[in-house]
Structure 1
Amino acid sequence: MKEVPKDYYHTDAINDTTVAYIREFAQSDKPFFLYVAHNAPHWPLQARPEDIAKYKDTYKSGWEPVRKARYERMVKMGLIDPNVTKLPDTPPGAMRWEENPDREWDATAMAVHAAMIDRMDQGIGRIIDALKQSGELENTLILFLSDNGASPENCAKYGPGFDRPGETRDGRKIVYATEKQVLPGPQTSYASIGPRWAGVANTPYRYAKAESFEGGINTPMIAFWPKGITAKKGSFSDHTGHVMDLMATFCELSGAVYPRQYKNNDIRPTTGTSIVASFSGKSPGQRRELFNEHFGARYAREGNWKLVSPSSDSTWQLYDLSADRSETKNLAAEHPELAKRLANRWHEWADTHQVFPKPDRPASGR
C-alpha cells in the first residue's frame, strides 16, 4: 500500500496527477480527454494555513456587505444586467451579522472556503502551464464549470459514518462542529459554510443547492480554446446549456458517433444538444425545454419561462427569466394557462423519466 505523504492535500493531488497525465499523453499525437473533478470548495472546510491566512479579514464585514459587493462587481463587469437580474432581498427573519454570536467562526468558515478555491486555482494554473509546455494549449478545449449552487447544509450534524471519517490518518479525532465549537480549517474539524454564506456564494440568485431555483441549479461555465473559439475573447454568452450537452459537444468536435446499441442492448438517445455554435457567438435559435426533480424540488423550463416549486412546497411558481433572472416576481396568477401547460409538461416528463413512484409516496405524485 502506497504511503500517503504527511503534507497530502486532495486538491493538490488531483492537480498534480492531471499534470502528470498531460505530460504522458502529450508524447503521443493522439487526442486526449481529461475530466478533472475537484472536491473543493465542497465541505468539509479544510485548507492549508498559508492559504487561509490570505482571507482572514475578507469576510469579517458579514453576509450582506459581501453579497452586495459581489453583486456590484458582477454589474460592473457586465456579467449581469441589473434591470433583469436584481439583487433579491435578504430572507425575512434572517439574523443580522451584528446579532450573530458566532461572527469569528462564520468569517473563518468563508475564509477557509476561499482558501480551498485559491488552492484549486493554483493547481489549474499548473495544468495550464503543463499544456503550454507540451505545446497543446492553443488547440485544447478547456471547459470549467462549478457544481450546481453552494450548499446550505450543515454537514456536521450527522457525525462520522458512511463517507465521513471519525479520525485522521494519523489517528487524531475529528470534531464535527455542530455547535461551531472548533474553528474550521484543519483536518481535525468537519464543517460547512451554512445557509447564509451559501446565499452569498450564489449571488445574485435565490435559494441554494438542492432547490430548483436559479441559486440551486445555475452553473457558470468558462470555455477556452484559442484555435477553436471565434467569439470575442472575454465576452459573455447567454446560451442556455446543460451538463447533458457536453457529450453531444464532444461528439461533434471529435467526430465520434453516439452509439445506438451496446452488446445487443438498445441505448437511449442522448437528450443533450451540442453547444459548439456558442463558441462562435451564434444563437442556438431554439425554444428549449428542460426539466428536473430533486427530492421534491422541481422545475420545467420552456425558453425563458420557468415553472418551479421548492422541495418543501408543491405549489408551482412561474417566472419570466428574460425579465426576472433572479426569480423575484411570481407570475403564476397572471398566466394560469401557461403555468398549467408547463405543469402538465413536467408531469409528462416525470412519468417517462422514472421520477415516479417515489419510496413511501403515492405513485401519481401530483
Structure 2
Amino acid sequence: MPRHRREWTRILFLFAFSCLSSTAFSANSEPGERPNILVIVADDLGYSDVGAFGGEIDTPNLDDLANEGSVFTDFYVAPACSPTRAQIFSGADHHLVGLGTMAENLPLTPGAQGKPGYEGELNDKALSLPQILLDHGYHTYMTGKWHLGRSAATRPGARGFERSFALLDGAANHFTQDGAFIPPGREKMPKAQYTENDEPTDLPESFYSSDFYTSKMLTYLKERHESESEAPFFAMLSYTAPHWPLQAPDAYIKKYQGRYDSGYEDIRNARLKKMKALGIIDSDDTTFQDEDLAEIWRELPDKERAREAKRMEIYAAMVDNMDHNIGRVLDYLKSSGDLENTLILFFSDNGADGTTGKGLFEATFAHYDNSTENMGTGTSYVMYGPHWAHVSSTPFRGTKTMTSEGGISSPLIINMPGMDGGGTPNRSVINVMDILPTVLDIAKVPVPDNEYKGRSVIAPMGRSWLPMISGEIDVMPEQDHAVGWELFSRRGIRKGDWKMLWIDPPNGTGQWQLYDLSSDRGEINDLYKENPDVTKQLKKEWSNYMERVGVQLNPYPWPEFIR
C-alpha cells in the first residue's frame, strides 16, 4: 500500500476510535465496521529466528508484516505450548483454566492430579475467545495444532470454531499420520489424532503440515468470500513448525545446504550484530552464554559437524516454508480485498526447544532412519538440540519449559489496519493474556467478567493494547501488579524491571535468583544477595501469585529430556 494511503487509513482509523471509547462499543455493531483478525502461531520458534528479529532464515513475508507494522521485543508467553494456548483463548493464567501442567505430564505428576486447574485440557471455567466472537457475529476458523483437549466437549468446534482442521495432539510427524513419539512400554508408533469440524479424520497421501494447514485455511476463507458474507472473520493459523521432528520438503532443505557449516558461534554472533542494527537489543545489552559454543563446535568430529549443520538446515527450511505459506494467506487476503481490514498477530508459543530426546525417545529414534542423508524426510526423526536452541534464543538465557527469558520471550509482530510503525521496535512489557481483551476491544465486543452466558468463568487477567497499537500512546504503561510464571516447578515473578526466578539444576541453581532486566535481560548478574528488600517483596508477590492461581509445585518429570 502506498505510504500516503496508509497514512489516510491510519487517520480515519484513529478518528473512529477517538469517537467511541472501548466501553461504548456495541456488541451489535454492523459487521463491516469491525476488522478481521488473523492470529498466526509458530510452534517452538526461537526469539531470534525470524529475519525481523535478527535471524538469517529467509522470512520475507513476516519481515514485510513487521516493516509495515511493529515488532514487540518484550512480549511474554508461558514456558510451553499448551499453557500458552490456554492463555490465548481464555485471557487468564493457565493454572486457572486447566493447563496447570501439560496433559502429557499429568500421569507423572501425582501431586497435581485431581486439583482444580490441572485437568489437562481447557476447563469449564475458561472463557473461549472464538466462542465470544462467534456469538457476536464473527466467522471463526482454525487450522493446525490444538493441544487443548481431545474429548468431544473440548475440541475446537465445542469451543466456538465454526470450521476447523485440528491436530489434537501436541506434535506429530509432518508428512504422515505418525504420532509424536512411541510412549514407554509401547512398541509401535500411535497415529496422531486429527479432526475436521470435530469429527475424526485421516490425512491425505500428499501431506505436509504447514502446506496443508494453510490450504485448509484458504478453503475456509474462500468459502466465506464466495458466500458473500459481510461478517468479519477470526482465524487462527496454528502451525506445528518448527516443532520436532525436524522435517521439511527437500527443496527447502537444499536451499540452506552449507549455510550452517560455520557452526553455532558464528551464526549466533551474526544474529547479535543484526539484532543490534535493527534495534531489537541495544549495543550494551547483556547477552547470555553459559557455554563456549565455538569450542564445542571445534571439538566435534567432521561427521558430527555435518549432522549438526544438517539439523539446522532442516529447522531453517521449516521456518522458511512456514513463511512461504503465510505469504499464500496474505496474497489471498490481498486479492479478496480483506487485507486492508485485517489485524494480524504473529508470535511463537514458547522459546526454542533444546530437547535432545535422550532416554525417552530411544524407541522412537529406532523406528526411523536417522542417517545424515535421510534427515529431514518423513522417515527420519531428529531434533536440533541444546546448542542450536541456544542460538535461536539469542540473546537470552534458557529455552522452552524454563522461566528464564529464553523460555518465555516470544517475537511478536502486529500489523493492523492503518498502522504504520515502520518496523520500529516497541519495548512495552506485554503478555499473551492480553490478546483476548485486545481482540475483543478491537472487535467492539464487551469483555466478560466472571460470568458468560449463565456460567461462572475466570475473568480475563490481561489488558487491551488498543491504545498503543492505534497510536493513542507509544508504550503500554507499567502494570501495577506482578506477573508470574510456573511450569514443572520452575518459577518466575516480574514486577517493573525486577525479575526473580527459580530453575532446577542443571539449567539453574535450585535457588532464587534476582535480575534487573532494565540493564540485564540476559540474566547474567544475580543481584539476589545485594537487594534483600527487593527479594522480600518479590517473594511476597510470588506467594500471592501461587495462591491466586492455585500453583501445585511438581518437579520436571523427565530429568534427562532437556539438558
Provide TM-score, normalisation by structure 2: 0.58
Q: Cα distance 1:354–1:94, how it changes in 2: closer, same or farther (>3 A)?
A: farther
Question: Which residue is equivalent to 1:342?
Answer: 538
CA displacement, residues 171-191 of structure 1 (integer Å, 9 cap, x when unaligned)? xx524x5xx777520111111
1:60 alignment partner AA: D
The separation in 2 between residues aligned to 1:94 and 1:66, in whole angstroms, is: 10
1:237 is aligned, of 403, 409, 426, to 426
1:1-366 aligned at under 5 Å gives the runs: 4-26=203-225, 27-83=228-284, 85-91=285-291, 96-101=296-301, 102-155=304-357, 157-159=359-361, 173-175=367-369, 183-227=374-418, 229=419, 232-259=421-448, 260-262=450-452, 264-279=454-469, 280=471, 282-288=474-480, 289-312=482-505, 313-356=509-552, 358=554
1:97 alignment partner AA: W
Structure 1 window deviating more from structure 2 (148-157 vs 327-336): it is 148-157
The separation in 2 between residues aligned to 1:309 and 1:112, in whole angstroms, is: 33
Note if contact 2:528-2:535 (Cα within 8 Å) is conserved in structure 1: yes
Q: Cα distance 1:2–1:317, how it changes in 2: closer, same or farther (>3 A)?
A: closer
Give the C-alpha shift of residue 141 in structure 1.
0.2
Note if contact 1:108-1:183 (Cα within 8 Å) is conserved in structure 2: no
Question: Which residue is equivalent to 2:170?
Answer: none
The separation in 1 between residues aligned to 2:293 and 2:202, in whole angstroms, is: 50
Partner-residue secondary structure (3-state), 2:414? strand
The separation in 2 between residues aligned to 1:125 and 1:355, in whole angstroms, is: 40
CA displacement, residues 33-85 of structure 1 (integer Å, 9 cap, x when unaligned)? 001110001100001110000111111100111100111011112221021x2
Note if contact 1:109-1:183 (Cα within 8 Å) is conserved in structure 2: no
Structure 1 window deviating more from structure 2 (57-66 vs 283-292): it is 283-292
Higher relative contact order (CA 8 A, sep 6+): 2
Q: Whose strand fraction is larger, Structure 1's or Structure 2's? A: 2
CA displacement, residues 155-174 of structure 1 (integer Å, 9 cap, x when unaligned)? 3642388xx798xxxxxx52
Partner-residue secondary structure (3-state), 2:431? coil
Partner-residue secondary structure (3-state), 2:491? strand
Note if contact 1:165-1:174 (Cα within 8 Å) is conserved in structure 2: yes
Structural RMSD (CA): 2.5
Note if contact 2:310-2:372 (Cα within 8 Å) is conserved in structure 1: no
Give the C-alpha shift of residue 6 in structure 1.
3.7
The separation in 1 between residues aligned to 2:365 and 2:510, in whole angstroms, is: 36
The separation in 2 between residues aligned to 1:5 and 1:182, in whole angstroms, is: 26
Unmatched tracts of structure 2, length 5 or more:
1-199, 558-563
Q: Cα distance 1:5–1:81, how it changes in 2: closer, same or farther (>3 A)?
A: same
Structure 1 window deviating more from structure 2 (233-242 vs 101-110): it is 233-242
Note if contact 1:207-1:216 (Cα within 8 Å) is conserved in structure 2: yes
The separation in 1 between residues aligned to 2:395 and 2:555, in whole angstroms, is: 35
How many residue pairs are counted as aligned between the two chains? 347
Partner-residue secondary structure (3-state), 1:13? helix
Q: Cα distance 1:254–1:339, how it changes in 2: closer, same or farther (>3 A)?
A: same
Q: Cα distance 1:56–1:344, how it changes in 2: closer, same or farther (>3 A)?
A: same
CA displacement, residues 85-144 of structure 1 (integer Å, 9 cap, x when unaligned)? 233334269852111131111100000000000110110000001100110101100000
Note if contact 1:332-1:339 (Cα within 8 Å) is conserved in structure 2: yes
Give the C-alpha shift of residue 10 in structure 1.
0.8
The separation in 1 between residues aligned to 2:485 and 2:211, in whole angstroms, is: 34
Q: Cα distance 1:304–1:3, how it changes in 2: closer, same or farther (>3 A)?
A: closer
Partner-residue secondary structure (3-state), 1:244? helix
Q: Report sequence identity in percent.
A: 35
Q: Cα distance 1:330–1:183, how it changes in 2: closer, same or farther (>3 A)?
A: farther
Give the C-alpha shift of residue 2 in structure 1.
7.1
Note if contact 2:399-2:406 (Cα within 8 Å) is conserved in structure 1: yes
Note if contact 1:293-1:299 (Cα within 8 Å) is conserved in structure 2: yes
CA displacement, residues 260-317 of structure 1 (integer Å, 9 cap, x when unaligned)? 3246432121101111222125222233521010112111000111111213343111
Note if contact 1:143-1:221 (Cα within 8 Å) is conserved in structure 2: yes
Provide TM-score, normalisation by structure 1: 0.88
The separation in 1 between residues aligned to 2:556 and 2:213, in whole angstroms, is: 40
Question: Which residue is equivalent to 2:18?
Answer: none
The separation in 2 between residues aligned to 1:94 and 1:343, in whole angstroms, is: 38
Partner-residue secondary structure (3-state), 2:333? helix
Note if contact 2:397-2:404 (Cα within 8 Å) is conserved in structure 1: yes
